Amino acid sequence: MSVPAFGLGTFRLQGQVVIDSVSTGLELGYRVIDTAQIYENEAEVGQAIAASGIARDQLFITSKIWVANFAKDRLIDSLRESLQKLQTDYLDLTLIHWPSPENQVPVEEFMGALLEAKKLGLTRQIGVSNFTIDLMKQAIAAVGAEHIATHQIELHPYLQNRKVADFARSQGIQITSYMTLAYGEVLKDPLIRQIAERLQATPAQVTLAWAMQSGYAVIPSSTRRANLQSNLLACNLTLSEADMALIAGLDRGQRLTSPKGIAPHWD
């Protein structure tokens, strides 16, 4: 897999909160950090990484270009600003965060600029996030599927996004699941709790293991050391085919994030 299966998300975490979360995560063994320009925490993430003393080549850092920076004369400059904040010369992965609202900047233009950033060495890999199948097809037409390392989408037991995931897989594009725990909703699910109890695991570990066994990368976040440590153990958990099938049956198309004016018409 071109994108590591397990990482640390930083959505909604800012200031000292994100510094503490990233610092603790790195101390516990996390080496994949996911941020974004719109999170307004890149500088704090960079501060925590710098203070950790961990060598850059041991880390995998992802950020995402915000919609205001999609124009070809703006995208690369904005990425350089992100690099400055993150105190690094390059990103391991740079994503287009959301599609351009009302196609103000054509897919071909921003994907072309992102590929140029890769050629300049500003990012090792590129990808997309929150795209529909049609938008993925446009991105593939613009730069080729071989240049799209991942597609990051909301994906959890209650929204399994199978059409999009299957199309990405057919093109050799990995899926990264965000909100894998559905803001904690799935942790209360009776079925997941039952599986967790039987396996002597936590509901979070079961859910994260389900996503990884499905072939998806995950980037859960937490501000609590105990949860950060516990979530890591999901990497060592194996679910049976029967348990995987039971969780597959929980899909109910429950989407938790769809910002007005930015979200596309979902598949």
pLDDT at 2: 84
Is the pTM here over 0.85, yes or no?
A: yes
pLDDT tens-digit map of 27-44: 999 999 999 999 999 999
**Cα distance between residue 226 and residue 209, in whole Å:** 18
Model pLDDT for residues 123-136, shown as the tens digit of each residue: 999 999 999 999 99
pLDDT band at 1 (very low <50, low <70, confident <90, very high): low
Residue 208 has a pLDDT of 98
Closest CA to 52 of 37, 35, 33, 39: 33
- Condensed to tens digits (0 to 9), the pLDDT of residues 193-202 reads 999 999 999 9
Q: Which of 39, 158, 178, 216 is catalytic?
A: 39
Q: Is 39 a catalytic residue?
A: yes
**Lookup result for tokens 């994030």:** 257
Q: Which domains does the chain have, with CATH numbers?
A: 8-248 (3.20.20.100)
Q: Is the pLDDT of residue 223 over 70?
A: yes
